[in-house]
Structure 1
Amino acid sequence: MRKSTILLAISFAFLAGCAVNPVTGKRQLMTVSTASEIQMGQQNYAPMQQSQGGEYDIDPELTRYVDGVGARLAAQSEVPLPYEFVVLNNSVPNAWALPGGKIAINRGLLTELESEAELAAVLGHEVVHAAARHTASQISRGMVLQGLVLATAVASSDSDYGNLAVGGAGLAAQLVTMKYGRDAELESDFYGMQYMSKAGYDPKGAVSLQETFVRLSEGRRTDWLSGLFASHPPSQERVNANRQTAMSLPAGGKTGEAEFQRAMQKTRATKPAYDAYDEGRKALSEKKTDEALALANKALGLFPDEAHFHALRGDVRLVADKYDMAITNYDRAVERRNEFFYYHLQRGLARNELGQTDGAVVDLEKSIELLPTAPAHYALGGIARARGNMPEAIKHYKVVAGAGGDYGKAATTELVRLELPTNPGAYVLRRCDPDANGKLVVSVKNDTAVQITGVQVVVQYADETGRQQQVRHDVLGQIPPGQIASVNTGLGPYTAGANCPVTVVAAQVAE
């Protein structure tokens, strides 16, 4: 395939995939339909909330307040999407929008705002991201680039809380952590301020918000760098642009300082408890278990109703192998918030350590129902294997094997142990070559991450009468991961490049 033909094909794909941006009126690359965007948002909204700390259900009045502000802004949008707004129980300052109008703001960002107008600036910005189809546009560009890479490869050869999520649940995290480009950010600022003004808010709230973000970015706070600023980088350019936009809009409008402070009263009052909890999580990640337990107790002393605090105390007990005490703490977390995956996951792991496998399975399956994770699937795979249910074990391990990381590696090893004896050809690759005398040499490669042994191959060949025969050969010794071993069959003549008449029929993990 000629390069010019490829470029022409890509050009036609680009033109065919162009659509008018419903907010700006400009043409942009778009291969994702609005219906697909809405479906994408609906499918990923719940798992994304689970992975980011769950819904902030301690203060339902605040959620209703935020939803009301969001609804007033969404009503100004040119695109009638099924908008939803949720407050998440997460201290990291962040807000995000999934395709199709599914929007979230973290408790940690709300505590940094000062007025309803600033809240409107945040939510209006996210509404524009959804309405202007920014994420879908990024996905579309990715699809075209993938197509270009694939086509070029063909042309050149002309031949043949929160990182635990697995499977489809991992897609949501990728969607909301995409870094928006400069144009998308300026566009969302500009049209978000238009929405603010139309909804009766003072657009200067967007100016003060960006000024605060620039100041915070200069302080290099890690929670901001890993949160909002990772996908929404602030800049002085955005501040200046917002000032110009504010000057072009009608002066005045609602700032809503009093209303916002009233809505935030409970959340601000409990902030010291969440601060202690966050410090406790950090201490536990650094293996400072005594400090983590003290901070969990401090958080519970300040605000005993928060389930996350009980779970932190459970996690400290779990890493100390105090499984009965951990289960008690997770019980208290589940009593307060039953529909959060993490408490069920951790209680299931603790029950499994105590041999309470029936209860562990119930908890782990409940956690997967809420958010599929590698630890849950891996533990269920181990339970199924211990019970002799190999197909069930293989099913769980295969989910985890594709996730990467430590769990992915461990699951891949378990899959090899289970499948290698019955399906050696999937893990041991074979190749045929002639030796100097034209005799067939079979090479096998260990394509696993573990050492293997007992490799046997069967060679099919025609004898001097033309009848098909089979002969089995042992590949002697152990083969390390990624290494190759060979056996000379003595059969021939064999011509290089001819069909390789060899099947790998046996192999096992070297214990």
Structure 2
Amino acid sequence: MISRTQALAACVAFLTTSILGGCAVNPVTGKKQISLISAQQEVQLGQQHYAANQQQQGGQYTIDPALQNYVSQVGQKLARVSDRPQLPYEFVVLNNSVPNAWALPGGKIAINRGLLVLLDDEAELAAVLSHEIVHAAARHSATAMSQQQLLGAGLAIVGAATQNSGYADLIASGTQLGGAAYIARYSRDNELESDQYGMKYMAAAGYDPQGAVRLQRKFVELSKGQQSGGLEALFASHPPSQSRVSANIKHSQSLPKGGISNRAAYQKAIAQLKRDTDAYQNYDDAVAAANNKNFDAALTLVRKAQKQQAKEAAFFALEGDLLSQQKHYKNARQAYDRAIQKNPNLFSYWLKRGMTQIKLKNYSSAKGDLSRSLRYLDSAYAHFYLGEVYEKQGDRQNAYEHYQTAAEAGGEIGTMAQTRIKAIVNKG
């Protein structure tokens, strides 16, 4: 008796060969695999959604630009020896405490600062980046999307944006407002494939493949006994196991011995992150306190973080969230002002300040802020509150159009927009 997974795989294979007339060739392994998405479409998907994904996950880490350059240089070194060096690879560090890394189709790759601080050397960083490069080079996302299309599930979309309304749900959740992320959930075979060929890329680029062995051992240890803490996202998409450690050890035996680890260079590159460890821990603790509605404790913690690292815009944005929750809107606006001064390129700061401007009845300023947020991410929240601004200014046509856009997002914000649409229609 075959399993449900085997039945689905057989169904997919049948549909692919019988209806669509064949499979594509995996550029890395040379094996046949499902692909309803062309290589050109992959590149377009990655380019289209890369910036939006960054916006939803904290934006780029800006405190130490040299770290961005360092990670990009390591990534490009690996990309040049990949099986698809012609892809438009990009590598960014995201300002996110969750230890994770991901790849979009077409070679758009990100790694969170929360993962960088868990690594010991450049070889381990190369292991992470080469793994993600293989996902892009081997067209794993295209295969996952194609399978879901054949099974009637549509594209593999993660991170869609519907949150509950109100400031309580906006606290530190700007990374979750609006848009959708084209980040596939990879199969076990995809993960093993990315480990194997990622180690090959590491060796070709001059790195010690043992970095991949150490990395997987580290992840296995961190996953034991639920001590993973904030590692759930990483382990959900890249599940560690002793079998992966064993497979990496086996792969390493067929690769050249030696290679660089560059521990000193890596430790120098992440030195600012390490110096700011306590500041980010206080910030994360403030977020946890806010989620438990301990707003006074959260304010104390985030203000402590501000003193420890005054350049971090996220610390001031969180203060704005907390003050808004307590209806101290003038002070909240000032906190958002400081966040925007420090990093004007994140949609959520403009969005939240715009929402605060509405509370203060500064409708022209609110319109400017909300419109500015849309430059960075087209979110349902910005459209809803723009609808509110236009409605208060007596411009029902523009209000209707923005509410209509917000309604298409569904969820609670969509329901709220539908309610406002009905009210406008009833007024004639």
Query: Are residues 1:162 and 2:168 paired?
Result: no
- Structure 1 SS opposite 2:417: helix
Deviations 1:84-131 (A, max 9, x none): 000000000000000010000000000000010000000000000000
CA distance in 1 between partners of 2:405 and 2:267 (Å):
46
CA contact (8 A) 1:89 1:107 kept: yes
Q: 1:400 to 1:94 in 2, by over 3 A?
A: same
Return the letter of the residue paired with 1:224: L
Query: Are residues 1:76 and 2:89 paired?
Result: no
Return the letter of the residue paired with 2:95: N
CA distance in 2 between partners of 1:138 and 1:53 (Å):
26
CA distance in 2 between partners of 1:45 and 1:312 (Å):
24
Pairing 1:247-266 to 2, within 5 Å after superposition = 247-266=253-272
Deviations 1:21-50 (A, max 9, x none): 100000111110111111111111111111
Q: Which has the higher helix share?
A: 2
- Structure 1 SS opposite 2:175: coil
Max radius of gyration: which structure? 1
CA distance in 2 between partners of 1:281 and 1:7 (Å):
46
Pairing 1:87-126 to 2, within 5 Å after superposition = 87-126=93-132
Q: 1:145 to 1:207 in 2, by over 3 A?
A: same
**Residue equivalent to 1:372:** 378
- The CA deviation at 1:387 is 2.3
**Residue equivalent to 2:349:** 343
**Residue equivalent to 1:19:** 24
Deviations 1:235-294 (A, max 9, x none): 121111101001111111101111111111111001110110111111112211100100
- Structure 1 SS opposite 2:93: strand
> What is the TM-score with the length of structure 1 in the denominator?
0.75
- Aligned length, in residue pairs: 396
- Structure 2 SS opposite 1:393: helix
CA distance in 1 between partners of 2:32 and 2:25 (Å):
4
Pairing 1:76-225 to 2, within 5 Å after superposition = 76-79=81-84, 80-146=86-152, 161-165=174-178, 169-170=179-180, 172=181, 175-176=182-183, 178-220=184-226, 221-225=228-232
* 107-116 or 376-385, which deviates more: 376-385
Deviations 1:401-458 (A, max 9, x none): 2323321221122222233676xxxxxxxxxxxxxxxxxxxxxxxxxxxxxxxxxxxx
> What is the TM-score with the length of structure 2 in the denominator?
0.89
CA distance in 2 between partners of 1:64 and 1:386 (Å):
46
CA distance in 1 between partners of 2:27 and 2:107 (Å):
14
Q: 1:186 to 1:421 in 2, by over 3 A?
A: same
Q: 1:343 to 1:147 in 2, by over 3 A?
A: closer
- The CA deviation at 1:64 is 0.9
- Structure 1 SS opposite 2:256: coil
- Structure 2 SS opposite 1:103: strand
CA distance in 2 between partners of 1:283 and 1:9 (Å):
50
* 401-410 or 286-295, which deviates more: 401-410
CA distance in 2 between partners of 1:343 and 1:254 (Å):
41
Deviation above 3 Å: which 4+ runs of structure 1? Answer: 6-11, 419-422
Q: 1:294 to 1:209 in 2, by over 3 A?
A: same
Deviations 1:334-382 (A, max 9, x none): 1111111111111111111110000000000111111122221111111
Return the letter of the residue paired with 2:77: R
CA distance in 2 between partners of 1:222 and 1:181 (Å):
24
* 72-81 or 373-382, which deviates more: 373-382
**Residue equivalent to 1:490:** none
**Residue equivalent to 1:32:** 37
**Residue equivalent to 1:401:** 407
Return the letter of the residue paired with 2:407: A
CA contact (8 A) 2:130 2:202 kept: yes
- The percent identity for this pair of structures is 48
Q: 1:9 to 1:405 in 2, by over 3 A?
A: closer
CA contact (8 A) 2:16 2:34 kept: no
CA distance in 1 between partners of 2:257 and 2:363 (Å):
65
Q: 1:9 to 1:185 in 2, by over 3 A?
A: closer
CA contact (8 A) 1:90 1:106 kept: yes
- Structure 2 SS opposite 1:105: strand
**Residue equivalent to 1:489:** none
- The CA deviation at 1:386 is 2.1
Kindly report the root-mean-square deviation, in angstroms, between the aligned alpha carbons of the 2 structures.
1.8
- The CA deviation at 1:9 is 6.6
**Residue equivalent to 1:303:** 309
Q: Which has the higher strand share?
A: 1
CA distance in 1 between partners of 2:397 and 2:18 (Å):
46
CA contact (8 A) 1:14 1:29 kept: no
CA distance in 2 between partners of 1:401 and 1:147 (Å):
22
Q: 1:9 to 1:211 in 2, by over 3 A?
A: closer
Return the letter of the residue paired with 2:282: A
Query: Are residues 1:59 and 2:36 paired?
Result: no
- The CA deviation at 1:147 is 8.9
- The CA deviation at 1:214 is 1.2
- Structure 1 SS opposite 2:386: helix
CA distance in 1 between partners of 2:18 and 2:401 (Å):
42
CA contact (8 A) 2:57 2:176 kept: no
Deviations 1:155-210 (A, max 9, x none): xxxxxx32311xxx32x2xx22x321100000000000000000000101000100
- Structure 2 SS opposite 1:162: helix
**Residue equivalent to 1:389:** 395
- The CA deviation at 1:13 is 2.9
**Residue equivalent to 1:268:** 274
CA contact (8 A) 1:118 1:209 kept: yes
Any unmatched runs of 5+ in structure 1? 1-5, 149-160, 423-511
